[in-house]
Amino acid sequence: MTAARALGVSYVMPVLNEAGYLRDAVVSVLGQDYAGDKEIVLALGPSTDSTDDVAAALAAEDSRVKLVHNPQGRTPIGLNLAIKASQYPIVVRVDAHSELTPSYTARGVDTMFRVDAHDVGGLMDAKGKNPLQRAIAAAYHSPWGLGGAAYHSGAPEGPAESAYLGIFRREVFDEVGYYDESLHRAQDWELCLRIRQAGYKVWFDPELETSYFPRDKYKALGAQSYASGVWRGELSRRYPDGKSIRHDLPPLMVVGTTLGAVAWVIDPWLTVEAPNAVRVALNLLKLAPVGYAGLVVFATLTGKRTTLKEKLLMLGVFPTIHFPWAVGFVKGRVYGAQGTLDRGRVRS
């Protein structure tokens, strides 16, 4: 790596209720195999576990760990506070549920200069520490889980619509602005939109990998999926050009399976006088839940790196991702997000 590529790097991390993951995440950052100076700024939300104690211990152990307080606990506010409190020309967004591979920073900064990009992202390599979390991770890797986005399932290197986490040139924030604090979620996509509209590159590099640990309970996963759907619906209200056909598929699936379930209930009660057209319609609707169940079984059986127990758990994971997301998307698309929070992360 040349001296020009060894610019100082500021890592920014919003933190809320992450006592079990924070230390490993910070260690993976400070242990990066990178020649430039490093610092990490933790934006501490109002955690209800021992996260603040872990953060304070990390700051006491290493002067490169800096703390800022984020009383509202919202991700974009925390990111903006951390960026403004940092000092180096390269800004790297990191997550407390993630661990960076040792070469992540060096590879990302080299890629940024090689392709003249202003934001670079890579693969989110979902992993698990228990059977359910590993089942959720396998669903994330599946094209049937989260829609097959490049940073989940991989794609060739090249320009991208958005970037997972993101490695930024600091000056891009001065030009296009910081994260939109009105977006509780999906703020990374909106920032990437402004970067692209300013004529700069957002780049996907599949050689960049970040280990990510998803939710490890069905309830928390459902809450996260619902909030993600709501805010994706909000984005589609604000930016119609950012809406993809894949965003319509989960709501159509929910409508189809619901009507199909109703059809299964109604069918035995039909009298012999019922019009033939009604019977044909009901029979067609009855195929929807059967088809969805078949898709879930297929996606589960083709899931990689899973044991039999994890495959059985996956049968519940896919609906826990799809149905809350679909309901949330419709709510956000029709009524807006209205401050919806991820209740799987925020605890009273």
Helix, strand and coil in the chain, % to nearest 5: 50, 15, 35
For residue 127, being part of any structural domain is answered with yes
Which stretch of DSSP H or E encloses residue 85? helix 75-85
Distance CA 83, CA 65 (A): 14
For residue 220, being part of any structural domain is answered with no
Q: What is the pLDDT of residue 1?
A: 47
Which of 11-20, 205-214, 244-253, 289-298 is the least confident region?
Answer: 244-253
73 and 194 share a domain? yes
The domain total for the chain is 2
pLDDT exceeds 90 at position 2 = no
Single out the residue in 182, 214, 246 at which a domain terminates. 214
Burial class (CB in 10 A: 0-12, 13-18, 19+), 246: exposed
Nearest to residue 120, comparing CAs of 7, 205, 191?
205
209 and 283 share a domain? no
For residue 226, being part of any structural domain is answered with no
pLDDT exceeds 80 at position 166 = yes
For residue 132, being part of any structural domain is answered with yes
Which CATH number characterizes residue 183's domain?
A: 3.90.550.10
For residue 252, being part of any structural domain is answered with yes
199 and 277 share a domain? no
Name the token pair of 199.
């004529």
208 and 297 share a domain? no
204 and 242 share a domain? no
Which stretch of DSSP H or E encloses residue 68? strand 65-69
257 and 144 share a domain? no
- Considering 145-149, 258-262, 343-347, the range whose residues carry the highest mean pLDDT is 258-262
**CA distance from start to end of the chain:** 47
More confident position, 183 or 343: 183
245 and 201 share a domain? no
Q: What is the pLDDT of residue 264?
A: 87
How does pLDDT run across 92-120, given as a tens digit for each residue? 999 998 889 999 999 999 999 999 999 99
Q: What is the pLDDT of residue 201?
A: 96
Q: Could you say which DSSP state residue 238 is in?
A: H
How does pLDDT run across 262-283, given as a tens digit for each residue? 888 888 887 667 788 877 888 8
For residue 297, being part of any structural domain is answered with yes
Q: Which residue has the tokens 């996956």?
A: 314
190 and 270 share a domain? no
Single out the residue in 179, 198, 214 at which a domain terminates. 214
Categorize the per-residue pLDDT at 245 as very low, low, confident or very high, splitting at 50, 70 and 90: low
pLDDT exceeds 90 at position 5 = no
149 and 68 share a domain? yes
Mean pLDDT computed over 173-181: 96
63 and 153 share a domain? yes
Rounded to the nearest 10 degrees, how much is the dihedral formed by the CA atoms of 26, 28, 29, 35?
150
pLDDT exceeds 70 at position 250 = yes
Each residue of 195-232: b (16+ CB within 10 Å) or e?
Answer: bbeeebbbbbbeebbbbbbbbbebebbbbbbbbbbbbb
E strands, 156-314, are 158-159, 167-169, 202-212
Could you give the 3-state DSSP secondary structure of residue 252?
Answer: helix
Which of 51-65, 247-261, 294-308 is the least confident region?
Answer: 247-261
For residue 70, being part of any structural domain is answered with yes
Categorize the per-residue pLDDT at 126 as very low, low, confident or very high, splitting at 50, 70 and 90: confident
Name the token pair of 210.
């970040």
Which stretch of DSSP H or E encloses residue 188? helix 187-197
Categorize the per-residue pLDDT at 54 as very low, low, confident or very high, splitting at 50, 70 and 90: very high
Distance CA 229, CA 33 (A): 37
Single out the residue in 198, 214, 230 at which a domain terminates. 214
Q: What is the pLDDT of residue 104?
A: 95
Q: What is the pLDDT of residue 275?
A: 81
Name the token pair of 236.
């589609």
169 and 249 share a domain? no
Which stretch of DSSP H or E encloses residue 317? helix 308-335
Its domain, for residue 249, covers: 238-335
For residue 125, being part of any structural domain is answered with yes
pLDDT exceeds 90 at position 344 = no
Please state the pTM of the whole predicted model.
0.83
124 and 252 share a domain? no
